[in-house]
Structure 1
Amino acid sequence: AVRETLYGQGDTKTPMRAALTANVLNIGLDALFILQLGWGARGAALASALAAAAELVPLCATRRGRALLSQVYSGGVRRQALANVREVWRLGLPLGLQLFLSVSVFALLTGAFAMMGKNDVAAHQVALQVIHVSFLPAYALGEAVSVLVGQAVGAGEDDLVTSVARQALFAAALYTGACGVLFAVTARLIAGLFARDPQLIDLIVQLLYVGAAFQVFDGANIVAGSVLRGVGDVSFAAWISVGSAWLITPVITYLLGFRAGLGVVGGWFGFVVELLLAAVVLWWRLERGGWLPAAAAERAKLHAQQPQTTLEPSLPRHLTNNATQ
């Protein structure tokens, strides 16, 4: 909760430092508990729990963190949260369902790939781990742009939303496109790091080629979905993401993977179509201004709560400058 509050106020460096500190501590405690004391899995679990607790310390040590804790102790946040519990559910439930259903369909697809053969599911897992090199930074960019557009909406600067979104799209496309080229050029080298079986290597290479093809679509999808969630248009983004994941990829996996005999490669073609269509629909919503009513509603609620709020607003200075130009 403290980390997300700091994100919302534009402070991303403090959570980063806290996470780095916790990771270093986790590594040290793992070495102590597992290697030195021989506690095994219990030691690993204890190390993770202690590191997670330690991560909270630098978060609460900041001025904003102390202000949030002060509200908790005084009961201010509790009263405000109870008064707005319906709003919390309205925004959080679609996102929670989206994550649950997305994980569920992904587990279903992994099971389908396992039915195709051990090489298919092994190639899927290897290629997926490699693709994360591109996915995770794009996801971080989406988190950042979600905060920025949320601040812009709160400040009444709706015209900044599409501008910020386009800049984020350019950055995401540049990075994911470069990753796609890298995956395509070094596919066989990467595959050789994970496997020795020639057939498995060939399958991994094919998946990396397909993954290279959908990198830019994935980045555009992440940015557009994050922008819509940031301005309060949560339900639309959730429905499109879940609908495309359940209605497109499983069908293409069945048709191309099982019926056409393409195996896991056919399933990954489903990812290409899913991400492309979802990105097009989300960006259409963004560019056409379909999110504006949701943003206006969120801003009205924010203004209604303003007298109860003591945490300082934090619209970035460069956004304010752009708004006045």
Structure 2
Amino acid sequence: MTDRPLTTAAGRRTALSLARVHDGREIMALALPNILTMLSQTLMWTVDTALLGRVDSASLAAAGLGGVITWCGYSLFNNLSRISGTFVAQAHGAGDDDLVGHYAWQGLYIALVTGLLLTVAGWYSYVALPWTRNPAEVQDLTYTYIRWRSVSAVATQVSFAVTGFFAGRRDVRVPMWCGLAGNVVNVVLDVWLIFGWEGFGLGGATWLAVPPMGIKGASIATSIGTAVNALALVGFALAPHLRARYRIHLPRRPDRRALARLVRVGSPAAGENFVDMGGFVMFSVFIGTAGAVQLAASQITIQLLSFSFMPLWGLTMAAGVLVGNALGAGSPARAAHYGRQVYKLGTYYSLGLGVAMVALREHVFGVFSDDPTVLALGPALVLAAAVFQYFDGVRMLSSGILQGAGDTRYAMIVTVILMWGMFIPLTWFLVVSRQGDVVVAWLGASVCYLLQGLFLWRRFASGRWQHARIFG
């Protein structure tokens, strides 16, 4: 099978061979900083999970449920805030510096509004938590986590928008260093705030003493780390050479047409992300009905999977930029070429990680918990995760490539149909109706994500995404 497109015309089917990766250095030059950023984020969440696992299973379960609910809310707007990166990438590919700065500002306006909405929603989330039917203790701890995480909602959305400005121009090192700085702050504060510290004496006074805060301390640490990341990104965006080239320091007025384009392209992507995360909220809710131990084990599985989807998300971001730049430069065949190479790299990574999971299945859960009932579920869940992460990788890469082209509606439709028509009903049937355990639930999830990945891969292979027009 050849690795070249069957035809160079846009919209025709393309072939894929896993034999060799072309332009790997160019792709990895963009992907590696993103991957390092995502891995540092994964490490931060791993530290959160491991430390809370030493507090108690209820805190671990609440952090898992609270994290999923928080990101479900964020997911409604995340892609809307970051979609400006698609416009920046295509404008950069076309060599239009003024348009780059213009859409960076329009994305920032959307980020500020959506961030404020998420903050309000987080503080009133206690209204919806009884609906999860989790134990009262888990609900109370979950609300504490969500409330303090929502404090940084504006910073989260702003970081997505400003990262789009950098990444769309292939400048991925700045977001990497800013993300690393925020994550280091988070980890240091985690240890300090979760377990507390007696402080130190100086001048007859005690300094930096804090009581143990548990899950509240973990969420506050995450919010502060997020704010550090956002402030650093804004500071770097105002560098003299960027002000001179893109006039990024001069506020652009809200442009109704530009905002409408961002919403038109970004809303399906936001909807896809929200439906996907909403499905996982329901997944966690159904598992939570089986008890805190099952929910804690599922949270550890999600944490383990972050070592798959975080690096692949970094690769996905690189794919979106490369595809967007190529389409902006009027080269759909080049865009398809980049897409194929990204698929290969993602496949190699997922297969390698799957082998590592299988080899270490007896030992992984011990990093996160010392509860014997949780540890007993570990080996089987690690095997289920090894299968799931491969299918999720295909889905993620496909979605990112399509988003880089601005072809976002198809992915949303597929996600809605499979998540709400199959994933959620199947999880309810397996866990609630049949009273199956968490392992059965994760195997069912693998089937759903396999189908989703296949449908999105077929969309890429068809070449129809090359006809998408985002500035029209």
Of residues 226, 237, 258 in structure 2, which corresponds to 1:59?
237
Which residue of 28, 42, 49 maps to 2:227? 49
Q: 1:123 aligns with which of 273, 292, 297?
A: 297
> Cα distance 1:18–1:65, how it changes in 2: closer, same or farther (>3 A)?
farther
The one-letter code matched in structure 1 to 2:241 is R
Q: Aligned partners of 1:25 and 1:189: how far apart in 2?
A: 29
The offset of 1:232, in angstroms, is: 0.9
What amino acid sits opposite 2:177 in the alignment? R
Task: Say whether residues 1:18 and 2:178 are aligned partners.
Answer: yes
Alpha-carbon offset, residue 62 of structure 1: 6.3
Shift of residue 252, structure 1, vs aligned partner: 1.9
Which amino acid letter does the alignment assign opposite residue 6 of structure 1?
Answer: F
Deviations 1:246-274 (A, max 9, x none): 22222221333344443212211222112
- Distance in 2 (CA, whole Å) between partners of 1:200 and 1:29 is 27
Q: Secondary structure of the residue that 1:84 maps to in structure 2?
A: helix
One-letter identity of the residue aligned with 2:167: Y
Aligned equivalent of 2:335, options 161, 167, 176: 161
RMSD across aligned positions (CA): 2.7
Letter in 1 for 2:359: V
Query: Residue in 2 aligned with 1:147?
Result: 321
Q: Select 2:168's aligned residue among 3, 8, 12.
A: 8
Instruction: Indicate how the Cα distance of structure 1 residues 130 and 207 shifts in structure 2: closer, same or farther if over 3 A, else same.
Output: same
Within 5 Å, give how 1:92-241 maps onto structure 2.
Answer: 92-241=266-415
Change (3 A) 1:10 1:53: same
Q: TM-score, normalised by structure 2?
A: 0.57
Check whether the contact 1:188–1:201 (CA below 8 A) recurs between aligned residues: no
SS of the residue corresponding to residue 10 of structure 1 reads coil
What displacement does 1:116 show?
1.7
Distance 1:12 1:215 in 2: 25
Which whole-Å CA distance do the structure 1 matches of 2:370 and 2:188 have between them?
33
Q: CA deviation at 1:221?
A: 0.9
CA distance in 1, matches of 2:295, 2:185: 34
| Compared CA separation, residues 21 and 195, structure 1 to 2 (3 A) | closer
Cα deviation for residue 72 of structure 1 reads 5.0
C-alpha distance 7-46 of structure 1, shift in aligned 2 (>3 A):
closer
Of 253, 258, 267, the residue aligned with 1:78 is 253
2:452 matched residue in structure 1: 278
Shift of 1:185: 1.2
Taking structure 1 as the reference length, what is the TM-score of the superposition?
A: 0.80
Letter of the structure 2 residue corresponding to residue 8 of structure 1: G
Q: Say whether 1:293 aligns with 2:428.
A: no
Residue 2 to residue 52, structure 1, CA distance change in 2 (3 Å): closer
Aligned partners of 1:18 and 1:59 also within 8 Å: no
CA distance in 2, matches of 1:66, 1:194: 49
2:208 to 17, 37, 42: 37
Q: Is the 8 A contact 1:18 1:58 kept in 2?
A: no
Q: Which residue of 2 aligns with 1:248?
A: 422
The letter of the residue matching 1:174 is: Y
Opposite residue 404 of structure 2, the aligned amino acid is G
Whether contact under 8 Å (2:237, 2:248) holds in the other structure is no
Residue type at the aligned position of 1:103: M
- 1:67 and 1:18 map into 2 onto residues whose CA distance is 22
**Alpha-carbon distance change, 115 to 47 in structure 1, aligned in 2, over 3 angstroms:** closer
Q: Take 1:180 and 1:47, find their aligned partners in 2: how far apart are those partners?
A: 31
Q: Which has the higher contact order (CA 8 A, sep 6+)?
A: 2
- Aligned-pair identity in percent equals 28
Indicate conservation of the 8 Å contact 1:228/1:286, yes or no.
yes
Paired letter, 1:109: F
Matched residues in 2 for 1:61 and 1:120: separation? 49
Query: Residue by residue, what CA displacement relative to the aligned partner does 1:109-167 show, whole Å, maximum 9, x if unpaired?
Result: 11110112332211101111111111100011001101100111111111122221111
Q: 1:198 to 1:278 in 2, by over 3 A?
A: same
- Once the 2 structures are TM-superposed, how far is the Cα of residue 31 of structure 1 from its aligned partner? 8.2
Cα pair 1:60 1:66 within 8 Å, conserved: no
**Cα distance between partner residues in 1 of 2:290 and 2:209:** 39
- Give the distance between the partners of 2:413 and 2:361, measured in 1 at CA: 34
Secondary structure of the residue that 2:176 maps to in structure 1? helix
